[in-house]
Structure 1
Amino acid sequence: MSKVNDGAVPVAEAWRGGILESTHTGHAVICDETGQIAHSWGNPSAIIFPRSSCKMLQALPLVESGAADAAGLTPRQLALSCASHEGAALHTDAVSHWLADLGLSEGDLRCGSHEPYDRAERNRLIEAHETPCQLHNNCSGKHAGFLTLNRHLKAGSEYVEVDHPVQKAAREAFEATTDEASPGYGIDGCSAPNFATSVLGLARAMASFAAAREDGGVRQNAMHRLTHAMAAYPEMVAGEGRACTELMRAMGGRVAIKTGAEAVFVAIVPEKKMGIALKITDGGTRGAEAAIAGLLVKLGVLDAEHPATRKRLNAVQKNWRGFETGITKLAPGFA
């Protein structure tokens, strides 16, 4: 098993005063529609946890089982099923209504609660002397999807257990699309199993989504629907100010992208029938956002000068007085 640091290469750099201050190393793979490597940096075989970057894989059984249609889910809700959202009112309201339509409530979730990332909602809770609930969890949309599938399967309430029918279905979809047997799993922050794979396997899965046709059969149809839902509703996938939302908007709904904890990022590029996966070994978001922006620019689907791009790639650093102090850019030889 290839460890995450094996063969990592410089990906992004932070410069200050004309001196290299920090280097982010990692791995990245771009796959074509046949699952072959079109471009790679570092070690494609490095084993990683995809974390939340693979939520569209976890949502596949929701769609292909017929559970989504049976529940009347909209594309906006399908986007939310793939989300790591901010816990803003539009997210919590959407999950709350979704659960109510299922005859369920916040207490049926198994994701746990944390303070919302959205500042307005956090301040509202503080001012109202309320505590965060599971609706605020950034994974509550994914868990609403799990509960929808669980109701369809008529399975038990503990849907996050690794041997539960919901998670067995998620693992089957994960291994089929990555075309790899997962070497193991860890428990994610939201309590669901997160199956490990190689960077190549994750890129291969993204390429399969990118090449999927609406009329290509049950699984391809599900991939197509999830991809286009994410691209059409970027505000549901993350939130205001977040890289996923801002970069998808910058690409005008042509590409679906998704980040994961510990600096994983993926992209689904239908017009090129290509998929991207990358991992920054130090777990730093700065390096991952610069890298995904650079690779999307390389593929010609993201404008290098768009403000959302410049916020992350060739991003000028300023101090608290507004003085320019440095820059974050790609390492030589990457992208």
Structure 2
Amino acid sequence: MNYEILVSDYRNGILENIHPGHICGVDEFGSVKYQVGNPDHLTFLRSALKPIQAIPAIANGIQEHFKLTNRETALIAASHRGEEFHVDELEKLLDKVGIQEEELLCHPTYPLNPRSKDKLAKNNQPNRRLYHNCSGKHLGMIALAKILGVSTEGYFKPDHPVQQEILSALSSVSGCKVEHIHSGVDGCGVPVYALPLRYIANTYLRFARPELIEDRFIRRAVFQITSMMNENPDIISGTDTICTSLLMDGNIVAKGGAQGVYCFGLDEEKMGFSLKVIDGSEEQWPIIVASILEQINYKNKDTIQRLYQLTEKDIYNDNNKLVGNKEASFKLNGITSGTL
């Protein structure tokens, strides 16, 4: 596996938990500039794939075709938390595209945001497909099928034109040939793809620097998606989340996925990063990303501070007593080879 410890948890100075994983950072030429562990570690993008899954819909004019606002359109790249402002925009998107909620493959559920979930439960409100954090993505896929003039039935199947468009876009942006991309089924039922971390990092480099993308239609779509993500960070995720905190910084485009995968690109620095926490935890992301930014001397200290506010280094018990601490345990290893 060749993984390294990314975060260590201490209680009264005694090591209690470790969170191993891999980190890869690439430069504008697609060369691996930083690595922790194995930059060729194969991992599924999970929801970090969503901005890529949005490319064909944007490139085929979903916004113009259905007269969508930027906030409505941003939802197709989002892992929303089902807060009231998310649901308001989702219902507008549902209506404008002309989709029945039952057409969505994603299973009815309650929102991921605890306050929203508790409010619905308190009022005995039923769960909905629209509350699923992938519902915006599914709406975008069905909308794309309508634009392409193909059946919306089975839009989630690997051989459906919508999914083939997405796979082609992923290959184009990542630089990884289609035949080398591994596939699986995501939690919400649509195809999801696995790539080596270096290609995932390269994907997010190109989201931060769309001018590096050769295909002009994909390049223009990526520019639009990135702009909407930065303009509407709360739509992409929700209140007090790492994606929202990072996207508030106009120099960063970022997105996470289930089971510990996180990715971000830096515009001015012309760099892309991807990481995988092997135990699948997400709680460690803010500490890891903050440490990466500190180690490369990232200039926006406010962004780093926001990350530490999400996951504090200090550990408190139920009585609010300080009992331990968390700390990043890795050092970025700079290398000068490893072109894609």
Counterpart secondary structure, 2:51: helix
Match of 1:289 among 282, 286, 302: 286
2: CA distance between counterparts of 1:302 and 1:261?
27
Bigger mean CA offset, 177-186 vs 275-284 = 177-186
The residue type paired with residue 56 of structure 2 is P
Match of 2:17 among 4, 16, 22: 22
Bigger mean CA offset, 293-302 vs 195-204 = 293-302
Q: Deviations over 1:140-172 (max 9, x none)?
A: 111111122111012222211111111001111
2:306 is the alignment partner of 1:308? yes
2: CA distance between counterparts of 1:23 and 1:10?
6
Counterpart secondary structure, 1:285: coil
Contact 1:68–1:149, Cα closer than 8 Å, also in 2? no
The residue type paired with residue 157 of structure 2 is E
2:174 equivalent in structure 1: 178
Give the alignment of 1:9-88 within 5 angstroms: 9-88=4-83
Q: Deviations over 1:20-54 (max 9, x none)?
A: 21111111111122211121111111110010012
2:112 equivalent in structure 1: 117
Gaps of 5+ in 2: 334-340
2:229 equivalent in structure 1: 230
Specify whether residues 214 and 67 from structure 1 end up closer, same or farther in structure 2 by C-alpha distance, changes over 3 A only: farther
The residue type paired with residue 273 of structure 1 is K
The residue type paired with residue 236 of structure 1 is I
Give the alignment of 1:1-335 within 5 angstroms: 6-156=1-151, 157-180=153-176, 181=178, 182-213=180-211, 217-249=216-248, 251=249, 253-299=250-296, 300-303=298-301, 307-312=305-310, 315-334=313-332
2: CA distance between counterparts of 1:155 and 1:139?
22
2: CA distance between counterparts of 1:101 and 1:314?
42
2: CA distance between counterparts of 1:115 and 1:193?
23
2:338 equivalent in structure 1: none
Contact 1:68–1:148, Cα closer than 8 Å, also in 2? no
Question: Once superposed, which parts of structure 1, at least 4 consecutive aligned residues long, lie more than 3 Å away?
Answer: 213-216, 304-307
Q: TM (normalized to structure 2)?
A: 0.90
Specify whether residues 143 and 297 from structure 1 end up closer, same or farther in structure 2 by C-alpha distance, changes over 3 A only: farther
Deviation at 1:279, TM superposition (A): 0.4
Specify whether residues 209 and 314 from structure 1 end up closer, same or farther in structure 2 by C-alpha distance, changes over 3 A only: same
Counterpart secondary structure, 1:114: coil
2: CA distance between counterparts of 1:295 and 1:116?
31
Specify whether residues 305 and 240 from structure 1 end up closer, same or farther in structure 2 by C-alpha distance, changes over 3 A only: closer
Contact 1:246–1:308, Cα closer than 8 Å, also in 2? yes
Specify whether residues 39 and 78 from structure 1 end up closer, same or farther in structure 2 by C-alpha distance, changes over 3 A only: farther
Q: Deviations over 1:231-280 (max 9, x none)?
A: 1111001111212112333x3x3212111000100112122222111101
Deviation at 1:127, TM superposition (A): 2.9
Bigger mean CA offset, 216-225 vs 265-274 = 216-225
Q: TM (normalized to structure 1)?
A: 0.91
Gaps of 5+ in 1: 1-5
Contact 1:314–1:330, Cα closer than 8 Å, also in 2? no
Specify whether residues 140 and 254 from structure 1 end up closer, same or farther in structure 2 by C-alpha distance, changes over 3 A only: same
Deviation at 1:294, TM superposition (A): 1.8
Contact 1:85–1:239, Cα closer than 8 Å, also in 2? yes
The residue type paired with residue 159 of structure 2 is D
2: CA distance between counterparts of 1:30 and 1:73?
35
* Alignment RMSD (CA, Å): 2.1
Bigger mean CA offset, 113-122 vs 15-24 = 113-122
Counterpart secondary structure, 1:309: helix
2: CA distance between counterparts of 1:108 and 1:302?
43
Deviation at 1:313, TM superposition (A): 6.2
Bigger mean CA offset, 309-318 vs 99-108 = 309-318
The residue type paired with residue 264 of structure 1 is V
The residue type paired with residue 283 of structure 1 is G
